[in-house]
Amino acid sequence: MSVKLPISEALAHGLSRGIQTTGWEPVENPVGLGKSLRSCTFGDPLILLCGPETVGLEFLRHGWSGEVRITTDEGEHTLLLSKDDGTDVVLFQLAPRSDDFQVTIEALHVDGREEAHCEAWLLSLVFRKRPRPVGGTLPVNQHTRLVYGTWGQFLVLATDAVIPSVIVREGVWAGNDVRLFKEQVRPGDVVLDIGANFGHHSVVFSKLVGSTGLVLAIEAQWTMYQLIHANAALNRCDNIVPIHAAAGNSHGSVTMYPVSKAGEDNFGRLAINTHVLAGQDDGEEVAVYPLDTLLPGYLGDRQISFVKIDVQSYEFFVLLGMTSLLEKHRPIIFVEIAPYWMQRAGYDYTEIYGLLRAYGYQFMHSDEIAMGSDNVPDIPVDMKIEWDLLAIHPEGPNRGCKSAT
C-alpha cells in the first residue's frame, strides 16, 4: 500500500534530499497537511535525490499553475498543471527502482498565460511503502520518535539518549547479547524479559520463539511499560505480554531513583533505590512481587526456558524471589553482573553465583575476566567493570508442557 508524505516532511527526515532548491520556497499546502514547495522563478530547477521507494510526485493544479518539465533517467516528461475551474491535485508516477535516482523539476512558462499564473507547486512524494528514514529515526511528535533497527521499529522517548541511538547506529541494541539469544532460545519457548525497558529485546525474543512461544516482558517504569505495548503492536508481536511490576523477593512497593523524562537521559540505567522505603523519595513508586507468586497465572502449565535479567543491580533480589521457578523449570539464566553497583545496592555479586550454584547451575562467561579457583570471577569491587553471566543447568531447561514436580 503506497504512502504519501508532504515534501517538507520527506526532506526534513532524509527520505529525499534536495540537491538544488534555489528558486523554490516552502509554503503551506492549500489542500493538505505540511508544506509544499512552490516555484518563484523560471530557470531554477528543483533537483531531488530520491530513494528507490519513491513512486510518485504530487502537484497542485489551479488557476495560478502553469506547466512543469520532469526529467529522470528515463527521459523528459511535460505535465500541464493549469486549471481555471477549481483546484485539485495530479499524480506523476515514477517507475519503481532498485537504487537512488535523481529527479529534476522545472517550472515552464505557458504561452498565453501571465507569468504569475505559471507557478509549480510540488505537494508530496509518494512511496510504495512507508520508507525507512535515512539515519534510522523519524520524529513522531515532540515527545516520541520511531527508531528503525534490524529486528523492527520501536517507539521511544525523544529524550532517551543511549539505547535508541545505538539501534540507529548499529541496527541493534547489545548485538553480542542478541547473538547469544539466537543460540539459546528456540521456537515455542517461554522467555522472561525482566527489565524489558521499551521492549527491544522483547521483540527479539518474540521473533525467536515464534507464534507458539510466549514472552513475558516485566518492566517497572510505567512509561517504558506503555512503550512495550506500543512496540509489540508496531511489530505484530502478539506473543508479548507486558507486565507492569518490579520483580523482587517480597511483596510490597519499591521506589525508583527519580528522573525527569523532559531532559535527555539514559532511561535504561534507571534503578530501584534500595536505600529508601517506598514513598519516601521523589522517584516512581511501583509494586514489587516475587516471580514465584506473580507468574503462575500467566504461565498456566507452560515451562520457562530462558530468563534475561537486567535490572540495574537489583538482580539478586529478582533471583531470590524465583527460587521455586529455578528448581522446577531450570531455565537458562542470562544476567548482568556489576560488582560495584551491586555492593551499593546492599549485596556482594558473588551471592548471585552462590544462589545459582545451590540450584545446580554452571557458569559461562563471554568476556575475558579474571577467574577465581571456584569458577567465579575474582574482581575488585572498586574497578566498576560489568559483564554478562550465562547460567545453565546441566539437565537443561525443562521444555515440557507440564510443570516439573
* Burial class of residue 79, CB neighbours in 10 A (0-12, 13-18, 19+): middle
Q: Are 203 and 232 in contact (CB under 8 A)?
A: yes
Give the CA distances from residue 136 to residues 109, 149, 171, 207, 269, in Å, rounded to whole numbers and listed in that order.
Answer: 40, 7, 8, 21, 23
Confidence (pLDDT) at 298: 96
Say if residues 60 and 123 touch (Cβ distance below 8 Å): yes
109 secondary structure, DSSP code: P
- Name which of 397, 394, 357, 359 is nearest 376 in CA terms: 357
Separation in Å, CA 243 to CA 23, 190, 197, 215, 253: 55, 15, 11, 10, 15
Dist. CA 99–CA 185, nearest whole Å:
36
CB 66 within 8 A of CB 109: yes
Q: From 3.40.50.740, 2.60.120.260, 1.10.1040.10, 3.40.50.2020, which CATH number describes the 3-127 domain?
A: 2.60.120.260
CATH 3.40.50.720 matches 137-392:
no
Q: What residues does 17 pair with on adjacent strands?
A: 49
Largest CA distance in the chain: 94
Q: Cα 25 to chain center, whole Å? A: 35
Cβ atoms within 10 Å of 273's Cβ, excluding its own: 18
Which H or E run contains 320? helix 315-320
Per-residue tens of pLDDT for the chain, all 405 residues: 788 999 988 887 778 889 999 999 999 988 887 899 999 888 899 999 998 899 999 999 998 899 999 999 999 999 999 888 889 999 999 998 888 899 999 999 888 888 888 999 999 999 998 777 656 788 888 889 999 888 999 999 999 988 999 998 888 999 999 999 999 999 999 999 999 999 999 999 999 999 999 999 999 999 999 999 999 999 999 999 999 999 999 999 988 887 766 667 666 666 677 666 655 667 889 999 999 999 999 999 999 999 999 998 899 999 999 999 999 999 999 999 999 989 999 999 999 999 999 999 999 987 778 888 787 898 888 888 999 999 999 998 976 544 332
Q: In the Cβ-directed half-sphere of 370, how many Cα atoms lie within 13 Å?
A: 6
Q: What's the distance, CA 93 to chain centroid?
A: 33
Q: Distance between CA 346 and CA 231 in Å, rounded?
A: 34
Residues of the chain with CATH 3.40.50.150: 137-392
* Residue intervals in the chain for CATH 2.60.120.260: 3-127
Cell numbers linked to 88: 485539485
CA gap 305, 355 in Å, rounded: 19
pLDDT of 277? 65
Question: What's the DSSP call for residue 258?
Answer: P
Phi, psi of 327 (to 5 degrees): -70, -40
Given the C-alpha cell 520556497, which residue does it identify?
Answer: 25
Cell of 125: 512524494
According to the model, what pLDDT value does residue 403 have?
37
Q: How far is CA 316 from CA 36, 273, 348, in A?
A: 57, 14, 9
The predicted pLDDT at position 261 comes to 66
